Chain A
Amino acid sequence: MTTVPDTDRLLARTLSACLALVGVLLLARGVDASNAAVGLGDASRDPLSVPRWLYVATGGATIGASALLASFVTDRRLVRRIHRWSVTTPDRATARRVGVAAGNALGLGLLALVVYRGFAGPQIPTVNLAVVFVFAGMRAGLTMFAYLVGNAWPALNPWRAVARRLPNGFVSYPVRVGRWPAVAGLLALVWMETTTGMTKRPELLASVVLAYSVLTVVGAVVVGVGPWFRNVDPVSVFFRFYGRVAPLSWDGGTLRLTLPGMRLVGDDDASEGDAAADGVAANGAVDGPSDVAFAVLLVWELTYSGFVTTERGATVVRALVDVGLPPLAVYGGLYLLGFAAFVGAYVLAARVSASRLQTHRRARELAVQFAPPLLVIAAGYHLAHYLAFFVSLTPSLAAVLAAPLSTPANPLVLTLPSWVSAANIVFVLGGHLLAIWVAHSTAYRLFPSRMQAIRSQYPFVVVMMGYTAASLWLISLPTSPPPFLP
């Protein structure tokens, strides 16, 4: 085996340090600009000190520069060592069983409370357990836990707990369908969240949760618990995909700790042909076009819900409605066309990459193999959009969970200091930077030639720069409630 020259290794390490330094410098510039630009609606809001185009361009340039810097690291063994590093605990099978049982009980209890309080509790969203728990606790809190620590949803999933104890699996799930039902399901759920006002009406939310529970349990009983929750249930697939980013995971019966995002790079030793036949993704997360669509949807739904809640978005919607289109058609059109655009950009990057490289790997395969970094990007966006929301609602969440059957008299929230807006920029950029590294490691896994690996990245980096610019621009805009919606 060829030994990598020591100078190479030294160079790699020095340049990695430079990456951190330059990244911080660029970030610091960007942070100053956006700190002034974003503000949180306080009276003491600083005026914009840098033009918005410059702030957005800085974000895009940071990503491009980081990609270039990452490509300085060409030591295959170093790259492999980073994504393979792990620590495992001794076998904890009993602890796991107990934990799962406790999680099942907790999940069922919370589901019952959500439905009960949604119908019986006060119809004011800020004090109703159903609304606060579903949106602050689950949509924000549990998701953040899923990608920052580990996916706890399979233990908490009440529908799985019920369906598992019933006879199930009467119809075999067609493998060719893949996870497309989950994609459609997530599209539907986010659409409902945006347009039906179920974030403000506890009774509506409780009815939706009840209907969803019935549908899920029936579906799981028909198709089988495993296939249903792995392929069809959008909530489970949502948490599963986000959970791939997290450092903690169950490996057999043991708990394994890896570096964040590194499980997305996949296993070098497995020959992709064998892995695909087993149905286990070689790259550890994504193994088909429906998965690619789901990963892009995770990124898109955050961008879309971010866009329609800004003043600029509201202006666009009003302008389109003035032209004569019905409001729901405007929202739906933006939603679906935007999703198609995001998927299209990504697929185009894969095609450009495949056609310009000397490889027998097809564009479709490249699209699948390079999709896991999208999950890291989605995690960064989610943190940027939801962390402040979650933290500010923590007192309300604590109040409704501490006394679930009674109502707090005066719902409390935490005010957000001004540095939170800067933190959001860091999260968006951080997600992209980690994604660059995951893509870099993946490219090294896929291609024998290092230059080929580097060159394969260019189209994807361009797409990532576009996503970054769009996301940074969005989080710098002032917010306003979306027009024409309940």
Chain B
Amino acid sequence: MENTTTEPTEPTEATRTTGETTNGGTCRVCGRTFPETRLLVLHRGVRHPSVLTDAEREAYREAYRAEEEEIRSFRLRALVVLVVLYFGFLFLYAGFAG
């Protein structure tokens, strides 16, 4: 299971430079570990917004924006799937119903 240390630890090498390495790290507030740095950055911003340093806050905003891009492209693909599903079933019903 994950480390459960209650006192904040020193930020590790990986967490100081955001977006450069993906070695992951440990959250200095709650001790949860993440396999990717990006996830750690997001976690800090989501879970501990009140105790972020400025650098961490900036890193979070960047990671959030980067994720927005990913989400937009996902939404587009999901919309295509939904439209295909809808019309597909519409044609199936037109063909088989009645």
A–B: direct contact at CB < 8 Å: yes
Q: Is the CB of B46 within 8 A of A273?
A: no
Look across to chain B and name the residue whose beta carbon is closest to the beta carbon of A271. B30
With an 8 A cutoff between CB atoms, is A95 at the interface?
A: no
Look across to chain B and name the residue whose beta carbon is closest to the beta carbon of A33. B97
Within 8 Å CB of B1, what residues of A? 362, 365
Q: Is the CB of A358 within 8 A of B36?
A: yes
Assuming the contacts A50-B97, A273-B2, asked whether A450 and B67 have C-beta atoms less than 8 A apart, the reply is yes
With an 8 A cutoff between CB atoms, is B28 at the interface?
A: no
Task: Please pick, from B31, B36, B82, B98, the residue contacting A68 in the complex, using a CB distance under 8 A.
Answer: B82
- Rounded to whole angstroms, the CA-CA distance of A68 and B78 in the bound complex is 6
Name the distance in Å between A361's Cβ and chain B's nearest Cβ: 8
Give the contacts of A424-463 with B (CB-CB under 8 A): 447-452, 454
Q: Is the CB of B85 within 8 A of A64?
A: yes
Task: Please pick, from B2, B38, B64, B92, the residue contacting A2 in the complex, using a CB distance under 8 A.
Answer: B64
With an 8 A cutoff between CB atoms, is B8 at the interface?
A: no
Within 8 Å CB of A362, what residues of B? 1
Task: Please pick, from B31, B49, B70, B82, the residue contacting A65 in the complex, using a CB distance under 8 A.
Answer: B82
With an 8 A cutoff between CB atoms, is B18 at the interface?
A: no
Digitize B16-40: 1 where CB-to-A-CB distance is under 8 Å, 0 elsewhere: 0000000000000011111110111
Within 8 Å CB of B82, what residues of A? 22, 65, 68-69
Total residues of chain B contacting the partner, CB 8 A: 38
Within 8 Å CB of A61, what residues of B? 85, 89
Look across to chain A and name the residue whose beta carbon is closest to the beta carbon of B5. A273
Q: Is the CB of B85 within 8 A of A451?
A: no
Look across to chain A and name the residue whose beta carbon is closest to the beta carbon of B40. A448
Q: Is the CB of A29 within 8 A of B35?
A: no
With an 8 A cutoff between CB atoms, is A214 at the interface?
A: no
Q: Is the CB of A451 within 8 A of B34?
A: no
Look across to chain A and name the residue whose beta carbon is closest to the beta carbon of B77. A68
Within 8 Å CB of A35, what residues of B? none
- Rounded to whole angstroms, the CA-CA distance of A316 and B71 in the bound complex is 47
Look across to chain A and name the residue whose beta carbon is closest to the beta carbon of B88. A61
Name the distance in Å between A16's Cβ and chain B's nearest Cβ: 13
Look across to chain A and name the residue whose beta carbon is closest to the beta carbon of B35. A358
- Rounded to whole angstroms, the CA-CA distance of A359 and B45 in the bound complex is 17
Q: Is the CB of B86 within 8 A of A22?
A: yes
Within 8 Å CB of A68, what residues of B? 78, 81-82
Q: Is the CB of A448 within 8 A of B43?
A: yes
- Rounded to whole angstroms, the CA-CA distance of A483 and B98 in the bound complex is 35
Digitize A9-42: 1 where CB-to-B-CB distance is under 8 Å, 0 elsewhere: 0000000000000100110010011000000000
Chain A residues in the interface with B (C-beta under 8 A): 1-2, 22, 25-26, 29, 32-33, 49-51, 54, 57-58, 61, 64-65, 68-69, 71-72, 74, 76, 268, 271, 273, 358-362, 365, 447-452, 454
Q: What are 20 contact pairs spanning A and B, CB under 8 A?
A: A1-B49, A2-B61, A2-B64, A22-B86, A33-B97, A54-B96, A72-B78, A271-B30, A358-B34, A359-B34, A359-B39, A360-B2, A360-B34, A360-B35, A361-B2, A365-B1, A448-B39, A448-B42, A448-B43, A449-B67
Chain B residues in the interface with A (C-beta under 8 A): 1-2, 4, 30-36, 38-40, 42-43, 45-47, 49, 60-61, 64, 67, 70-71, 74-75, 78, 81-82, 85-86, 89, 92-93, 96-98
Sort A-B residue pairs by CB-CB distance and give the 5 closest, nearest first: A448-B43, A448-B42, A273-B4, A68-B78, A1-B49
